[in-house]
Structure 1
């Protein structure tokens, strides 16, 4: 099903490119001219003579001029500027000119095969007016379609640029928040255990390198993000005496890509809300991948004291919710729960 959808999307994109992109303009014009020439010149009656052929060439020239005049002057200068009455006036004027040219050319063509000439009545002029309307409608439809595609493309590009700008702002808000926590951790550990300061700074350097450079990509490997979380939790474990953590992975994670820094906020909150200086605390993180769905869960123990506030607010959680709405609209589920022994977050992403 996915393969068929991708093939259909590719064909649609290819067709839109052929109809709208500038690099294919010459081919579109040549195709149109060839089609109109085929309509006018392929059917040749046995008694056609030079005057009849001349009539065909004049009709061909008039139709081509009408088509392009409407497409490149009348529509941009009148319709797109909401000058509808002026456009209608031009249409009536051109129709009159077209009928006049047709009448003059028919009167120029001499009767053949003993006929006394063809009378010029409404039934003779109706096909010409009908062809005029078809040609005008076709050129208008093509130009309006191209304009619609161009406007849709501009709107899409603006929306994409807006979303990218907002995402960058959200990530920039998360970065200082995360860095401040890490520097506080480094300060505590440097005072508490100077001999471990070098190891701490190396781990902190790895964390910042990932956050500053690797996370600048639109997508990162899920395994890289998990390694980042592991480094973060190891750093936390280094500075706390009674803290443990566990990261479990289920399914085939290799090659799976996600947006960067989606999970660190939940893990940070889990660490913060499990903080207990005198009693054991732990954080358990689980990743599972099945059928293009990533399932993430993070749970932490509650501190021994009674102040057990559910973790609902905070800049980090607000930002990550907004990022999920932008990056995975309608493709994610986020549930936070306050359980008897701890807090739990469950996030599923459909890739």
Structure 2
């Protein structure tokens, strides 16, 4: 219905424009005729001349162009069809003009010209080509816009699939690390084993259900960190944890589970590999949508070798690239301390 209305509006505007041009063109020959009569004569002439234009235009729009776009026939055959249609249209246009418009509508008041008069044929080509060209241009523009929209949708679907894959890859990684912790506690027959399992079940419930949302509040994200830290602390007696937060709006939205992999790494490559007193310092600063997350942990290998991203860090990098246009991630590997500084402009979230 919408397409029918658009086509009707296009042709109505064209017929009115063609009527005005017709009056200007034949006006000198109709000087003794009232203007309102001239208008209706010109309008009827425009409708009569419109018929061959309509046939050619829709032949190209719904036969020739689809054949070219879909490649259902050879291009040469389609071109020959178009040329034949144009010739037929010009002949039909001249027949209508010579045997209908001049003798019937204008009662022979216009100058008679032969059917295939050269100047008349050139004028016919210009008249037919003008409206057909506009219609074809609009059609091709619409096809191009539709193709771009399809391409954009395909890219969006690809990025959504990649983002889901990254999150699903991160979750088993987290679960694997936590199960290792439970295994270690079970080997020691620790009284904390049951509590760890309970905390793990809460974390898994969040990961399976709530983390499927595109965004969660900063408060929920920090609660996950608190639960994970509480779960991990049960394993380490010589570990000191400082968790500082300066937050102006805990309801600010953030992509879920972005910060957890950094905390996991601090425990896995810091506390778990340390034989002496160790620490993890975390600082979360949020002001007017600008989030700064800092975490540092002690380490004992005393090397400053190049940092190699593991699965967790690699996935977080890619998620940041997909979701936040304005962000910065810095990793620093010093002899005794490994540190991470992450800046995110949470207002720059770009929906995939």
What is the match of residue 80 of structure 2? 89
2:16 paired residue among 14, 31, 38: 38
Correspondences of 1:54-69 after superposition (within 5 Å): 54-69=44-59
Correspondences of 1:42-121 after superposition (within 5 Å): 47=33, 54-78=44-68, 80-81=70-71, 83-108=74-99, 109-110=102-103, 117-120=111-114, 121=117
Give the conservation status (yes or no) of the 8 Å contact 1:40–1:60: no
CA drift at 1:28? 1.7
Partner SS state of residue 117, structure 1: coil
Of stretches 314-323 and 172-181 in structure 1, the one that deviates more from structure 2 is 314-323
Compute the TM-score of the two structures, normalised by the length of structure 1: 0.81
CA drift at 1:167? 2.4
What is the match of residue 293 of structure 2? 296
> How many correspondences in the alignment?
327
What is the match of residue 29 of structure 1? 7
CA drift at 1:89? 2.5
CA drift at 1:144? 1.7
Correspondences of 1:1-351 after superposition (within 5 Å): 24-41=2-19, 47=33, 54-78=44-68, 80-81=70-71, 83-108=74-99, 109-110=102-103, 117-120=111-114, 121-190=117-186, 192=188, 194-275=190-271, 278-290=275-287, 292-303=289-300, 306=302, 311-328=307-324, 331-339=326-334, 341-350=336-345, 351=348
Give unmatched runs, 5+ long, in structure 2. none
Instruction: Give the whole-Å Cα distance in 2 for the aligned partners of 1:236 and 1:116.
Output: 98
Give unmatched runs, 5+ long, in structure 1. 1-22
Cα deviations by residue, 1:116-158 (Å, 9 ceiling, x for unpaired): 7333543333332112222232222222222222222222222
CA drift at 1:300? 1.0
CA drift at 1:240? 1.1
Give the conservation status (yes or no) of the 8 Å contact 1:245–1:282: yes
Instruction: Give the whole-Å Cα distance in 1 for the aligned partners of 2:186 and 2:249.
Output: 36
Instruction: Give the whole-Å Cα distance in 2 for the aligned partners of 1:264 and 1:315.
Output: 13
Instruction: Give the whole-Å Cα distance in 1 for the aligned partners of 2:108 and 2:51.
Output: 30
Cα deviations by residue, 1:39-76 (Å, 9 ceiling, x for unpaired): 23456555467886553322222222222221111100
CA drift at 1:176? 1.8
Cα deviations by residue, 1:186-238 (Å, 9 ceiling, x for unpaired): 23334546543443233211111111111112222222111111111111112
Instruction: Give the whole-Å Cα distance in 2 for the aligned partners of 1:96 and 1:141.
Output: 21
Give the conservation status (yes or no) of the 8 Å contact 2:238–2:278: yes
* CA-based RMSD: 3.0
Distance change in 2, residues 1:113/1:210 (3 Å): closer
Of stretches 111-120 and 130-139 in structure 1, the one that deviates more from structure 2 is 111-120
Instruction: Give the whole-Å Cα distance in 2 for the aligned partners of 1:238 and 1:244.
Output: 12
Instruction: Give the whole-Å Cα distance in 2 for the aligned partners of 1:292 and 1:27.
Output: 47
The structure with more radius of gyration: 2
CA drift at 1:292? 4.0
